[in-house]
Chains A and B, each alone.
Chain A
C-alpha cells in the first residue's frame, strides 16, 4: 500500500514501516509552533500516498488533486491498486453492475451463493460459492443480511442476536477556520504538496482529567491552495468588510490563502439508539427494501466536540488568528457534524465472542453461518479516532488468511 509518516512512539498511533513524509508547508510550520506552545502533539501526517516508487507505482507528482482520483495510482485506492494485480492472476472473475439482493442458503443452513440483479438490464442471476464474503460497506452489508430472510433466519441472515444493523457509528467531526493576518500578501510559490495535510495531531491527552472518554485527532488545512468552487467565500468577514470593484479585487489578492482551519475526527461510542433497519415501505428501483436510520449522540460525543472547538480556537488564537465563527452552543451540539456526514460508517455486524450479542467472531466469520464472512467496516465494535480504511484492510487480510487455511484444512 505504501504509507508515509515518521516513527513517533505514540501508543495510540502505532509506528510502521513508513515512506519518508513530505516536509511541512510553511503555514504548517506555524501550526506546529502553536501546537508545541499549547502542548498539543503535532507530527508528520500518515497518508497512503507514495513518496517513493513502490510495486510498479510511481511516486506522487504533487499535483494535490488526490480527491479527484489519482491517475498514476500514487495515492492508494483499493479499486485501482488491488484489483488490477488480482485480475492478472487469472483467478478473479469480476462481475460489475451487479446489485446483490440476497445471500442464499442450502438445506443444511450453509450459505450457498448470492442472488443479484444485473443493473444494465434488470435481469436476475445467481452465483454459487463455497465461501461467501460480504463487503458492501457497513450499512449495505447490514441491509443485505437483513434482507436475506429464510425460515431458518426469519430476522435476517446471521441475525439470531438481533444485532445486525445495530451499534452503528460515524466519526465525530467539527471544524473551525480562522483568518491569519500573518499570511496576508502571500509569497507566490507552489503550495500543493500531496492531496492532504503534511502534519497532523494525534490524540494527546489523558482521559482521567477529561469529562469524556476516548479521543480525537486533528487535521489542518489552509494557505494558497488551488482556487476552486467556494473560493474565499464570506469575504465580508475579512478586514475589508466586503465591497465590490477594484478594492474588492485587491482584497482577494491580499487575503488569498490567509487562513488556517482545523477539523477534529473523533471516536463515537456505540449506543443502542444509533442503528439502521429495513424500511417497512420503501424499496429501491430494483425492488430491494432499503434502510432507514435512527441516530442519537450522547454526552460522550457532545463533550468531546466541545473540547475540539475549544482546542481549535486556542490554536488559532495562538497563531495570531481570528475565527470568523462563534463558539457553537450546547443547543447546536457544539457544532457536531450530523451522523453520516464524515462518511466513516462502522458497525452493524459487530464482532464479539458471544453469539447472543454479536454477529461475527474474531475472524469476521458469522457465528451462525460458518461459510459467511464480513470484510468491511460492519464488524467494528467502536469508532476509534483513526480513519477506518487501513483497519478494514488489516482485518480483511486476517480474514482472508483464515479462510485460506480453513479451506486447505477442509474445515470450510
Chain B
C-alpha cells in the first residue's frame, strides 16, 4: 500500500467505522494503514543522496533537546520535500546548496557531508552558521545555510511538536477577548486604562 492510499485508508476508517464497517473490519483497516505508514517516505523532489543529507543537516539545525524532539521527529524533511515542489523558486538554491556542502567537505577531507565525521560536519557549520563571523569566501555557504535554517524553522515550529515547544496558546475558542493577562502586561510595563 502506498503512503497516500494508507492515509486515505485511515481517513476512511475513521469516517466509516461508525456506521458501515464492523468493528473487526475497522480495526483491520486501521492496522493495515498503520503498517503502511511505517514504510519509508518516498521523496518527490530530493534524490536519495540529497534526502539523507537533508535529514542529517535538519537535525543538526534543530536537534532533540530536553523540551522537544528534533527536526526529523517533526517531519521537517518531508515538509521541505513538499515545499520544494510547491514553491519551485527555491529548488536551485536547495539543490545547489546541498552540492556546495558536499564540494566543501570534499575539499576539506575528501569525503561527502554524509561520509564526514560529526566533528567534520559541525566544523563546517561553525564556519557558515554565523554570517557576521564567516569568512567572505564562504558567502555562498552562508546564504544557503540561512535559507536552510529558515526553512527548517518554518517546518519545525509550524508542526505540533514545534507549537508545543514554543508554548503557543492560541487557535482555540475564546468567548470574548478580554485582553492580555497581568503578568504579560507587567513584563512590558504597560496597563489597560479602564
Contacts and interface: CB of A to CB of B under 8 A. Distances in A.
B187 interface: yes
B173 A235 contact: no
Interface in A315-347: none
Nearest to B194: A23
A24 B166 CA distance: 22
Sort A-B residue pairs by CB-CB distance and give the 10 closest, nearest first: A29-B190, A23-B179, A192-B170, A62-B174, A26-B180, A227-B157, A188-B167, A187-B184, A22-B177, A190-B169
Given A192-B174, A228-B158, A249-B62, A26 B153 contact: no
B130 A249 contact: no
A245 B61 contact: yes
Given A33-B190, A252-B153, A252-B157, A227 B177 contact: no
Interface in B16-39: none
A350 B56 CA distance: 59
Contact of B131 (A226, A242, A246): A242
A248 B59 CA distance: 12
**Central interface residue in B62, B170, B187, B190, by most chain A CB within 10 Å:** B170
Contacts of A243: 129-130
A178 to B, nearest CB: 15
**Central interface residue in A29, A61, A183, A194, by most chain B CB within 10 Å:** A29
Interface of A: 22-27, 29-30, 33, 51, 59-65, 182-183, 186-194, 224-236, 241-246, 248-249, 252-253, 256
A27 B184 CA distance: 9
A194 B125 CA distance: 41
A244 B188 contact: no
A246 B189 CA distance: 30
A232 B155 CA distance: 11
B191 interface: yes
A61 B173 contact: yes
B150 interface: yes
Contacts of B47: none
Chain B interface size, as a band, is: 35 or more
Given A189-B169, A231-B157, 8 more contacts: A51-B177, A183-B188, A187-B183, A224-B166, A230-B150, A231-B153, A242-B145, A248-B61
Contacts of A26: 179-180, 184-185, 187-188, 190
28 contacts: A22-B177, A25-B180, A26-B188, A33-B190, A51-B177, A60-B177, A61-B175, A62-B174, A63-B171, A64-B170, A186-B184, A187-B181, A189-B169, A190-B169, A192-B174, A193-B177, A227-B157, A231-B158, A232-B153, A235-B149, A236-B130, A241-B132, A242-B149, A244-B60, A244-B61, A245-B60, A249-B68, A252-B166
Interface of B: 60-63, 65, 67-68, 125, 129-133, 145-146, 149-150, 153-154, 157-158, 162-163, 165-181, 183-185, 187-192
A226 to B, nearest CB: 6
Contacts of B171: 63-65, 192, 226
Contact of A225 (B61, B153, B170, B173): B170
Given A23-B192, A242-B149, A248-B149, A227 B168 contact: yes
A20 B96 CA distance: 53
A241 B190 contact: no
Contacts of A232: 153, 157
Chain B interface main SS type? loop
Contacts of A253: 165-166
A225 B130 CA distance: 27
Given A63-B171, A191-B180, A192-B174, A249 B65 contact: yes
Contact of B63 (A224, A226, A245): A245
B74 to A, nearest CB: 12
Given A190-B172, A233-B153, A249-B63, A241 B180 contact: no
B150 A235 contact: yes
A25 B177 CA distance: 10
A27 B187 CA distance: 10
**Central interface residue in A62, A64, A232, by most chain B CB within 10 Å:** A62
**Central interface residue in B61, B65, B184, B187, by most chain A CB within 10 Å:** B184
Contacts of B131: 236, 241-242
B80 to A, nearest CB: 12
A27 B170 contact: no
Given A61-B174, A226-B168, A249-B65, A189 B153 contact: no
A230 B152 CA distance: 10
A25 B71 CA distance: 31
A225 B133 CA distance: 31
Contact of A230 (B154, B166, B168, B178): B154
A230 B67 CA distance: 22
Contacts of B190: 26, 29-30, 33
Nearest to A52: B176
Contacts of B170: 63-64, 190-192, 225-226
A256 B154 contact: no
A25 B184 CA distance: 10
Contact of A242 (B130, B184, B187): B130
Contacts of B168: 188, 224, 226-227
A26 B179 CA distance: 8
A193 B178 CA distance: 9
B146 A234 contact: yes
B127 to A, nearest CB: 12
A248 B162 CA distance: 13
Nearest to B125: A244
A51 B125 CA distance: 50
